[in-house]
Amino acid sequence: MTSKMNVFLSWVIDALLGAYLAACLVFVILPAFFETDVVSGTVAPWLVATVAAVFLVASVTNRASLGRLFLTGTFADSPGARTITQHLGWCTLVFSVLAGWIVTDVSISEFFSGEGLAGAGRIFGALVTPSTDIVGEALYAMVVTIFTALLATLASIPIAFVLAFLAASNIMTASPAERLVYSVVRALLNITRSMEPIIWAIIFSVWVGIGPFAGMLALVVHTIASLTKLYSEQIENIADGPIEAIEATGASRLQVLWYAVVPQCVLPYLSFTVYRWDINVRMATIIGFVGGGGIGTLLTQYQGLAKYHEVGTLVIIITAVVWLLDVISARIRSVLK
């Protein structure tokens, strides 16, 4: 990134930071402390814009800039810039904590209230006295969850394997067209990965109906994006020696990739894949809450009926299976290393 781009981005960051701090103060902190709107609705946006402008001017004139510190790790050039920037950083932290405390309605008194503790006692009491009537049903649902995660992982491997080469910066640099493909693939992967599997599960539940198939498709999409990122980063960290040696023999581009790149990535790929399957088993439980099938759907049903003894059974089975798979996954990954 060029220095001019860094300067411009630092200005943008500082202006947004000023608007953020003013908005926290005007719309969240002051109304909570005074239990009324201290600043009128018509004045508040102008106040936020004014503070943003002040921060922008401070950044442009090199008085102080958190944006510059974030992008380059250096303080502004003017005297006292370090002190002012540090104070702005502390203000940002304090305002964020206060605003977060207020917005999330944190209440210590409610957490330790007698009524709340009594309700928690009833629930935890039911959880530690599980019902054995649904063990068979719960084990079947857990098997469905495990195989949902397994199929999603297996279906993702070949697609992620191919996309990883297109998303590796050291591979896609031979021409402007390749750099364009690299940028497009990276952008699509970032967008796809930013949407959590539970969102994809909702989409596919509408698309193909509620059930394990919707859950598997949701995991496939997210797993492709995640594995491609891991695979491509491994490709970017390979040694150049084998590539140069294979190229010296007159090998084609595809042969260079297959004989020089792939052998350096096989073991890390296997380790990443096993770890991702472990993650998918946990995710498969969560996406069951929104129609992804498996034990998550069963857990939602019994929780909705307030049958906490049955919920306790499901929680115990989920915990035991996830713990066992975590041990197996860790063992496999240690062997692959």
And the tokens for 138?
């719960």
The per-residue pLDDT for range 268-309, each reduced to its tens digit, is: 888 889 889 889 988 988 888 888 888 888 988 888 888 888
Greater pLDDT, 91 or 243: 91
If pLDDT is split at 50, 70 and 90, which confidence band does 8 have? confident
Count Cβ atoms within 10 A of the Cβ of residue 45 and give its class: 0-12 exposed, 13-18 middle, 19 or more buried: middle
The per-residue pLDDT for range 29-66, each reduced to its tens digit, is: 888 888 777 666 677 888 889 988 988 888 888 777 88
State mean pLDDT over 153-157: 94
pLDDT at residue 30, rounded to an integer: 87
**189 CA to centre of own chain:** 13
Cα–Cα distance between 46 and 164 in angstroms, integer? 47
Q: Quick check: 1 pLDDT over 60?
A: no
Query: CA angle, corner 326, sides to 322 and 328, nearest 5?
Result: 120
Task: Name the pTM for this structure.
Answer: 0.77
Cα–Cα distance between 66 and 86 in angstroms, integer? 8
Q: Quick check: 158 pLDDT over 80?
A: yes
And the tokens for 58?
């401070």
Please report the sign of the dihedral spanned by the C-alpha atoms of residue 131, residue 135, residue 138, residue 139.
positive
- Span 131-336: which CATH code? 1.10.3720.10
The per-residue pLDDT for range 83-132, each reduced to its tens digit, is: 888 888 899 999 999 999 999 988 888 888 888 888 888 888 887 888 88
- The residues near 238 (Cβ < 8 Å, ≥ 6 apart) are 170, 261, 264, 265
Cα–Cα distance between 286 and 130 in angstroms, integer? 21
Assess contact for 130 and 309: CB atoms under 8 A: yes
